[in-house]
Amino acid sequence: MSFSQECKIEFWEEEPPKKPCCRRALAQGLLFCAQVQGGVFRLNIPSEELGGRVAAFLEKQLHTTVRVTPFSHVGNAYTALELVSRATYAQFQRADMSDLPLSRLLGFDCEACTRYFLRGVFITAGSITDPAKTRHMEFSCRDGATARLLSELLCEVGVPPLAIKRKNGTHLYYKNSMAMEDLLSYLHANRTLFALINNKIEREIRNEENRATNCVAQNIQKAVCAASEHIAAIGVLRSSREWDKLPEALRETAELRTQNPDSTLAELALLHNPPITKSGLNHRLKKMIQLARELQAEN
């Protein structure tokens, strides 16, 4: 079962709304993005079990007969539903031609009506990808008018979508994680919402661990390169007459650096007798690098 199917089943696991207006809104949402002609609605549900439940609900709510046809596509089970509801068809036609808000045109009587309507739309026309792979939530609308009305409604609840036209209609979608979480929270899809949040937390932890690992690796690489430069400069000084002219402090540092090529500057500073500061050690090493470069330039 796909992540999207699990989300749709979560919507349907909740008890049907008790208020008649909310049940009507849910039925309208289920049919809103369906293919429709002359009052005949056709839609596909990506689950035989869920398709049967949706059919039973629509028959009871709309007092009509729903033709149920199971079929498979690319190895997945679907249920095709076909029904006639001329009253709902007339409502949708009026909505397409009006500039009034969809909630008013469809007769939403309470705040919960919008939520149940959008739940219905998602069950029959929505999809959401597995957050472990990518983040994408989408509504497939049959035409531009349907997409416009649905987009306006989503804007009203505070989650404006993006739109894209494809061969099979206009699609509204989200790629922003926060917008998807806000919409799922509004729809009371808590199980799906927690899955998204948990995945985001896990991803952030992995990214933080990777950043820390990369930082350590970079620091090690820098230390190795610096130590190599120090030892190379010391080698140049040893092979020249300038070695005997070096102050005792520089020769001590040179000996310790050669004997401890893997030590950090902090560790190397503590090996001096008496110990010196890291800043003082760094100054000595830079002095030897400078002298070595001057000798190489002269030669």
In the chain, domain spans: 3-188, 220-298
Query: Which pLDDT score, from 0 to 100, does residue 31 have?
Result: 92
Under a CB-based contact definition with an 8 Å cutoff, are residues 119 and 28 in contact? no
Phi–psi pair at 52, nearest 5 degrees: -65, -40
Query: Which pLDDT score, from 0 to 100, does residue 136 have?
Result: 92
- Show pLDDT as tens, one digit a residue, over the chain (299 residues): 788 888 888 888 777 788 999 999 999 999 999 988 878 899 988 888 888 889 999 999 999 999 998 888 777 788 889 999 888 888 888 888 777 888 888 888 888 999 999 999 999 999 999 888 888 999 999 888 899 999 999 999 999 999 998 877 789 999 988 999 999 999 988 888 888 888 888 888 888 888 878 887 787 788 778 888 888 888 888 888 878 888 888 888 888 888 888 888 888 888 888 888 988 888 988 888 888 888 888 77
Beta partners for residue 36, in sequence order: 41
User: What does the alpha-carbon distance between residue 28 and residue 92 come to, in Å, rounded to a whole number?
Assistant: 9
pTM: 0.70
Q: State which fold the 3-188 domain adopts.
A: Endonuclease I-creI (3.10.28)
Query: Which pLDDT score, from 0 to 100, does residue 148 have?
Result: 92
User: What does the alpha-carbon distance between residue 99 and residue 76 come to, in Å, rounded to a whole number?
Assistant: 39
Query: Which pLDDT score, from 0 to 100, does residue 119 have?
Result: 93
Phi–psi pair at 136, nearest 5 degrees: -160, 130
